Structure 1
Amino acid sequence: MTVRRRLLVLVPLLVAMMSAVLFLVFQSGRLVQDGYGLMMNRLLLYQETVQAAEAGITALNEYLIHPAPEEETRAGIALAELERLRDSLEGQAGGHEYAASLKGHAGMLATLGEQAGGSLRAAQSGQVSAALDRYREAETTLGYIREGGQRLAGQELAAYRPLYAGIQAENERLNRLGIAVFAIGTLLSVAMAIWVSRSVTEPVNQLVRAAEAVSSGNLEPRLPEARSGSELDTLTASFRQMLEGLRASIAKDRRLSEQERLVKTLELQALQSQINPHFLFNTLNSLSKMALLEGADKTSGFTVQLSQLLRYNLRSLDAATTLREELAHVRTYLGIQEARFRGRVQVEFQVEEEALSTPVPPLLLQPLVENAFVHGVERLESGGQIRIVLRRDGNDTVIEIADNGQGMDTERRAALLEPGGGPVASGSGSTGMGVRNVFRRLELACGREDLVEIDSAPGQGTRIRMRVPDPVENLRIMEGGDAHVPSSHRG
């Protein structure tokens, strides 16, 4: 869930919950107010009836003393108001707990109205004695009305005393509920703010720490885990891809640097051995012609082979060659070694024609064959055997150089396969630089480090097996990838 969606869900949910609680509080408060209102309206009604009765008697008394038209009007209005209150009181009597008392009080108001009205009519007709008699009756009735009003108010208060206690308890409960609502709302708001903040800021802080670790050289920082597909997960995935690309770029630069170092090492060795290539080639050609003129055909052929071998060794190291050219170069080298060993070593070839077109780095086979001679079968008085196998295996080409010489122990074999190591000590001096260079250049050219195997044991010979991946892919790497080293970098 995205951060925006979280906020759009949680904030309205919190607001709705708070609104529901406030609505309940409002409903409870309104019920309390309705109870108060009902009780006060009845008490006020009782008070109004007593006041209206007193006002009617007062107006009638003033008319009897001063029978003026305006006094007559005031008395009529007072009696009409008294009649209205009586009707209202009778309306309140329905379903009331003290309905009989209310009806009795309403009856007293009706009696007062009849007595006051009779007195008013008698005074209007000139019957003074009758008017006074009815007036005195009305005053007596007024006393009863006062007592009835007080009694009704007392009964009302007595009846509403439990309700009043309940209202007080309800007010107390509402106060506690208000405090609880405020506390819960505050806690929920703080909890939601902390949760949203942690869900947003914690991954951001982890990314910041990861960026600081990368800036200090640590390419394996701890990144936040993917949680719910939010924008932060997308940012983390992009950061992780950036790190992978950075690691791949650094590994690529290291391979290129390693290759340049290996190439420069080979060039330095070639430079140490060549001195002046043109002078050496011319000298060898002159020796070959002189031997031919003197009738030493074998010496002339040997010199030509040596010249060809030296010329191939000094070729450009930044261009791919084929196994066919490498095999021709090995045959030239073997021709020279034959003149030295004179039948002590037998060389066997197992070559498939399809394998000869495979593109490979230059100087791939001859250093391995030379190693088989120098550190394998050189000490044998006779019976030395070297087998060279070039074959296809699916889409790959397999190269095997095997001898039946003195072999090597596990430590020396592991040192040969370790990239970047120094020379490997053996019983006949030092070896390993040329062989390790061959292995490393093949791995760099093909972009893999699982291409070489060595089977050997002391006294049981050595077999080196190299696997060259798909020739088309290999050629692309050699000509346009990491393995390309311009000739200007050759020292």
Structure 2
Amino acid sequence: MNSIQKKILLLTTIVLIIMSIIWIALTYYNHKTQQQYNEILQRYLKLNEVTSSSQNIVADLNNYMINPSEENMSKLTQSKKRMEDAKQGVITLRNAENNFTLTNYVHLMDSFIETTNRLLLFLSENDGEAAAQEFSEVTRISTYISEMSLSLVDTELKTYDRFYRGIIKQSGEVMKLGIFLLLLIMCVLFFVTYWFSLTITRPISKLTQAANELSKGRFDLQVKVDTKDEIAFLARTFDRMRKNINMLISEIKHKAQLEHELQQSKILLQESQFKSLQSQISPHFLFNTLNTISKKAYLEGSEETSDLLVSVAGILRYNLKQLDRSVTLREEIMVLKQYMDIQKARFTDRLQFFMEIDECCLNRRIPSLTLQPIIENAVIHAVEPSEDGGTIWIRVKDEMEEVLIEIEDDGIGIPLEKIQQLLAENLHPFEKESKGIGIGFSNVVKRLRLFYGDDDVITIKSQVGSGTKVIIQIKK
């Protein structure tokens, strides 16, 4: 055991001895006083129990007279039992000061119980008038019991007034004793602490001075303390820390730089991924659209060409919106109509398009650019390859707990394994052949699941040779 530990142990021992003596004395005094208080409190509670029991019996009698059920009779029986128990408890409170009053109090309780029993007898005999008189008598006796309880409590207070005065006097003496002990402890601790501090403060001052110089960046000053205790060991450790601190600071700066560069790389990666999604507008679609418009302008008048230009402008404006925003289903349907106007102008009678829209569903929120990529795939792979063209249906239905969006075509269908790949977000549908605008079917699946937090939000039903149906289920 080294020197500082011995000094601390001595100081701690002295303080513990003094505090233990004080604690034992105060505990004994507190326990004794608490017992006396508990005895007095129990006397008051027993008197209060009588009053409470009598009032409960009156209430239960009233309920039983109104509704003579077994439940009310059971409550009344329990209240009478409490009254008997309270009576036995009150008998133990007898002393010289309350002997006469307590005897009358017990007799009054006996009268109360007897009157209650007579009332029940009259009720069993269906003598309502006699029962009413007995109920009045029960109520009057209950009032007397309450008043006499207060009288007994007052007597108890006068009886134990001397006890309260004694407690107050003892409390004053204990306070004086506490002040004296506090002053004694302060004096002892002052001298012991002064002696203890002299052996520590000087080497600590040297160590503090060295630390101050070190905080100013002077790592060339040696830390030295000429003692043989723990402070000397601390000084040597501090000196070793001085030698290593430059290297640690360099490492921390290097790590901070790496973390900063890593964070910047993550931000740049996220921005590039987002811009990549935004930039996936197919130039092939723009070329076909503009080519169709130019031919229409050549072969026909300007009215239909103007409508096509409006549709193209609407689609371009809509596709330039950020992908991370949500829109209403009404907006998606509007841009879908513009897209299909362009495609119908391109394919003429080869493309048949039908819509069944429930207007009450159009205020639902949906990720931007959700329906157009699905319709685009249907046009490219169900209508364009066929010499006779094809038909596309879109339906928006209001179900009980969800809104259903169905996009159906009569094309060649999709094999089961490719459907599984699409829903697993591993493949863009027909990505080698597809040149339509949009962000890809797999991306639509991913964004729908993220937006609604549900993997079952989109399903695909298809068989090779019998068309394809894409179903989006938006839960209310």
TM-score (norm 2): 0.38
- Greater Rg by CA: 1
Of structures 1 and 2, the one scoring higher in RCO (CA 8 A, sep 6+) is 1
Q: TM-score with structure 1 length normalisation?
A: 0.37
